[in-house]
Amino acid sequence: MLDRSNPTHLIDIVDVCRSFAKANGTKIDVLDKVNLTIKSGEIVGLLGRSGSGKSTLLRIIAGLVKPSSGDALCRGAAIAGPPRGVSMVFQSFALFPWLTVLQNVELGLEALGVEAATRRERALAAIDLIGLDGFENAYPKELSGGMRQRVGFARALVVHPDLMLMDEPFSALDVLTAETLRTDLIDLWIEGRLPIQSILMVTHNIEEAVLMCDRILVFSANPGRVGADIKVDLAHPRNRLDPAFRQIVDSIYARMTQRPETRTAALEGIPGTGVGMMLNHVSTNVIAGLIEALAGAPYLGRADLPVLAGSLQMEADELFHIGEALQLLRLAHLSEGDMVLTDTGRRFAMLDTDGRKKLFADLLVAYVPLVGLIRRVLDERPSHMAPAARFRNELEDYMSEDNADETLKSVVSWARYAELFAYDEQAEAFSLENPH
Amino acid sequence: MADQRISPAALASPFIPNLWDLLALVFILLSLVLIVWGAHVTNAPLSALDATPISLAPAHLADYALRTTLRMLLAIVFSLLFTFIYATVAAKSPRAERVMIPVLDILQSVPILGFLTFTVVFFLNLFPGRVLGAELASVFAIFTSQAWNMAFSMFQSLKNIPQDLDEAAASFHLTPWQRFWRLEVPFATPGLVWNTMMSMSGGWFFVVASEAITVGNTSITLPGLGSYVALAIEKRNLAAILYAVGTMLAVIVAYDQLLFRPIVAWADKFRFEQTASENVPHSWMLDLFRQTRALRALSLRLGTLARGASKWPVRLPSLPKLRFELPFSTRQIDLVWNGLVLALALAAMAAIYAYLAPTISSAEVGHAFMLGLYTLARVAVLMVLATIIWVPVGVWIGLRPRVAERLQPLVQFLAAFPANIAFPVFVVLIVRYHLSPNVWLSPLMILGTQWYILFNVIAGASAFPTDLREAARSFHFRGWRWWLKVMLPGIFPYYVTGAITASGGCWNAALVAEVASWGSTKLTAAGLGSYIAEASSAGDFQKVVLGIAIMSLMVTMINRALWRPLYKFSERRLTM
């Protein structure tokens, strides 16, 4: 059993900012003055929406990304390159497919120059601990996802790190496997059998964070900041149905859908304003499906997000994306952990296909400035054609290339559904003509 | 699979040999003996070549075949070394990449065969009076036919290393040396093996062409299959040519079965995919090695030894970081670098001009260019003909899995066969029936490379999804509509891949195919290939340089203007 009674600071993050340069020379802020401390003996969760910069923060601590400003310290020393005593578990497992389980686990020790016999002994011990006995000589491709992530854990544990970083370690697994792995890990942790002092995990799954962590840092996006620091004092093993557990989950949902006091031109959750609004692609089928589900029984226009997420088998993150699209188009709004259908939303649910398309077109033109802009440009030009590059360039003044692509993709797909304008993928051009 | 799970328990008593060991041991001993003997002969003085002239007696064929094969092996080793160094440097330094990758691209289109005369002279001077010089020249010729696309493949792999593995390697503190052997080389292996196999045909072609070389008045014949064929042509001995063809067939089969198949089967474990695939390549040779207990123990020991090297946590003298605080930004350094490269290029152009200008008139340039157009026309017509013939045949075969399974290895094998060995057979016919060399020598150019079209089309048709075929059937697609809307788009990406290789090979073959002789009869087709070939045997280096420059230019232009857009299009629109 490790001594966790006298906590020391493992990681100190002080006023860390990180921005990425874009092609045109301007910068995008991903992290803005983030502060955080990780002590020994705790499991800390970084909870946030995708794209909120939490993975970047994790990589700064892992020494894989450098902060643009501010200090990142590991045991008081500045982090330059991957620090000793910190190891990482990856979302995609990141196993070397040409190495066996045993060789994968030994890899980290090899780099440290550990002598062969000791290496083998420690690797076998880690494999034993994490429940991979008998799989030593299997190649990763012969294993199921859950077993692969166990290899990922064994590989991270075998170097006996002070801090184990986990980047959404369960999100590539199916529900049952993920739950087994979580409880196995927590069991080992509370029994003190893990050769580590602390865990920092990144996740977008609210329940997972509440289930595992002693402390949850809720990240707000654009640029990423630590919005709240929530202590979870429940004893392990935790019960998802425990009212105290549900209450923490609900409060986090509420916090993540909170409306800001003063309503700015930007919609909450959706960064950017005007033409520079960043859009995430949400299929029109999903939009229509969710509206129908919301309008019908048992929700009748108002649904509790955790309940809705459970019954639709969606991740909270997914649901937020769709909810934001609905909110942008004034079809629904999010507040206090609920999703509420607006009058327009109710009307949409009643209409037939053609009616929905017309309504959708009106909403797009009214509330998505980029759609309005494209439509105006097409109307003004005699050829009624415009290259996508013209709009992409404009978007890239506000956001990264990837986000500009995603935004254009959303606009193309929504406009196609609304029959507002056409897009020729090969010529990369918008036009008013629809093929007959 | 049972043989893939090696439990440590099986290693407890590894040295009790079983029956398979005996068989495998024989193979190993034989190859050791042959290599030692081969090393012994290459160290002989050059005059030894004249003392033991090439003989057409079939008894010598085994000896010649072995020498040819050893040259081939040596060239692969050099190509691999080159690949590791060149690709790694280009992938790690953006500034180096900007120069090295275009250079590689152009080198791919240069008909190196035309340079053979220079390289022979160069290497002979390097080791005056030794056979080694001539041997190295031949090895170098093979090297040039393989190294470029191997380096390209490795470079692309290095650039595409998955980010998570990259991060894992960094966060587990792998040193650059460990990273190279544990991550970069394994990741690049499947592509590298495949590209090496594709280079094989070129390699055999070049080794055969480079063994008997005449430069001006000197002629060098290295003992080997190529020289054997050259002598047979001189002596008008058709039977000997057929022996040589037979031997070459045997050599390629052996090479494929004993070396390449095992490597391909072994390299399968490096394929970067997380799911087990159904079509696992097999090799009886590799199985043999995996089933022999003593050998497996031996190979494990050797493997451990080799792997030990890769595990050394050597902190390589990681390139001395030039960190003396320069008063320049990276941007300025980039500018200086670009300027430097540009200046060097200009200087090189001036040097080439100075070399060519005194002897080459503008009329000569025009003449060579016209000849280039002739060759271009030949290549174009041949490609169209080969397409018309092999696409339907390939589709027919590919849609019948049983037929495809049997024929595909045969076609791949034909692609690896050096067609220049079989040229004389066709030349005999042209001579006998007094056919026009301008027309009838042309098909020789595509003789060896047409198979690339065929086997890629077969692969494409085999991979065509069954549900799409059924959909086409149920919608009553027939005749030209079926070809145009269903099958051709489906196989197009595969066809383009094959056609690029085939047309590139055609240009190279032009140097050998446009000039052919049978005894004292000499046939010549007007074209850039014969222009270069004649200039080179006359020792007229300026003309050789001119011819090669024009050919490289044409090949590069065609690649840029035709093949690359087609490839892009097929990648974008027609890939499933």
Residue keyed to tokens 């690359």: B564
Instruction: Tell me which residue in A59, A92, A111 faces B175 most closely, judged by beta carbons.
Output: A111
- The C-alpha atoms of residue B341 and residue B335 are separated, in whole angstroms, by 10
Complex confidence, ipTM: 0.75
Average of per-residue pLDDT across A395-405: 81
pLDDT for B6? 30
pLDDT of B317: 47
User: Token pair of A402, please?
Assistant: 């990837």
Average pLDDT of the segment spanning A125-143: 90
Query: A234, A212 in Cβ contact below 8 A?
Result: no
Q: Cβ distance B511 to B321 under 8 Å?
A: no
Tens digit of pLDDT for each residue in A343-373?
999 999 999 989 999 999 999 988 888 998 8
CA–CA separation, A315 and B266 (whole Å): 41
**pLDDT lower than 50: segments of chain B:** 1-17, 275-278, 316-324
Do B514 and B527 contact (CB within 8 A), yes or no? yes
Most confident of A255-264, A384-393, B268-277: A384-393
What is the model's pLDDT at position B294? 58
Contact B274 A94 (CB under 8 A): no
- Is the N-terminal amide bond of B313 cis, ω within 30° of 0? no
Backbone angles phi, psi at A33, to 5 degrees: 45, 60
**Cis ω before A140 (30° cut-off from 0):** no
Q: 3-state SS of chain B: helix, strand, coil percent to 5? A: 80, 5, 20
CB A143 within 8 A of CB A151: yes
- What local confidence, expressed as pLDDT, does residue B309 receive? 59
Question: Quick one: what percent of chain A has pLDDT higher than 70?
Answer: 93
Q: What is the mean pLDDT of residues A383-408?
A: 85
Q: Which of residues 108-137 of A touch B (CB under 8 A)?
A: 108, 110-113, 136-137
Q: Chain B neighbours among A 26-45 (CB < 8 Å)?
A: none
What is the full DSSP assignment across B445-509? HHHTTHHHHHHHHHHHHHHS-HHHHHHHHHTT--HHHIIIIIIHHHHHHHHHHHHHHHHHHHHHH
For each of the domains in chain B, give its residue range(s) and CATH number, in order of start: 15-44+282-312 (no CATH), 54-272 (1.10.3720.10), 333-573 (1.10.3720.10)
Residue among B6, B168, B182 minimizing CB distance to A94: B168
Between CA B229 and CA B68 the distance in angstroms is: 12
Distances B44 to A333, B73, B117, B278, B322 between C-alpha atoms, Å? 88, 20, 22, 51, 47
Distance of residue A320 Cα from the nearest chain B Cα, in angstroms: 27
At A85 the three-state DSSP class reads: coil
B279 φ, ψ (degrees, to nearest 5): -90, 85
Note the pLDDT of residue B7: 31
Q: Which amino acid is at A389?
A: A
- The answer to whether residue A209 scores a pLDDT higher than 90 is yes
- The minimum CA-CA distance between A42 and chain B, rounded to whole Å, is 22
Q: Is A187 on the interface with B (CB under 8 A)?
A: no
Question: How far is it, in rounded angstroms, from Cα A68 to Cα B210?
Answer: 58
Global confidence as pTM? 0.76
Cβ neighbours of A383 (radius 10 Å): 10
Find the largest Cα–Cα distance for chain B.
Answer: 78
> Is pLDDT of A189 > 90?
yes
Give the model's pLDDT for residue B376: 93
CA distance B335 to chain A (A): 18
Percent helix, strand, coil in chain A (nearest 5)? Answer: 40, 20, 40
Using an 8 Å Cβ cutoff, are B186 and B196 in contact? no
Contact A368, A276 (CB under 8 A): no
- Residue B323: predicted pLDDT: 47
- Dist CA B533 CA B517 (whole Å): 13
Q: Would the CB atoms of B171 and A63 count as touching at under 8 Å?
A: yes
- CA within 13 Å, CB half, A391: 31
Mutate which of B3, B7, B163, B173 to disrupt the A interface (most A C-beta within 10 Å)?
Answer: B173
Between A302 and B300, where is the model more confident? A302
With beta carbons under 8 A apart, name residues in chain A contacting B5.
137-138
Q: How far is A384 from chain B (nearest CA, A)?
A: 25
**Ranges assigned E (strand) in A40-122:** 43-47, 69-74, 77-78, 86-89
Phi and psi dihedrals of A166, rounded to 5?
-130, 120
**Cβ contact A137–B272 (<8 Å):** no
Instruction: Using alpha carbons, list the distances in angstroms from residue A226 to A178, A411, B345.
Output: 26, 31, 54
| Interface residue A52 vs chain B (CB under 8 A) | no
Kindly indicate the confidence band of residue A266, based on its pLDDT and cuts at 50, 70 and 90: very low
Taking residue B375's Cβ as centre, other Cβ atoms within 10 Å add up to: 28
Q: Which of A62, A98, A137 faces B269 most closely, judged by CB atoms?
A: A98
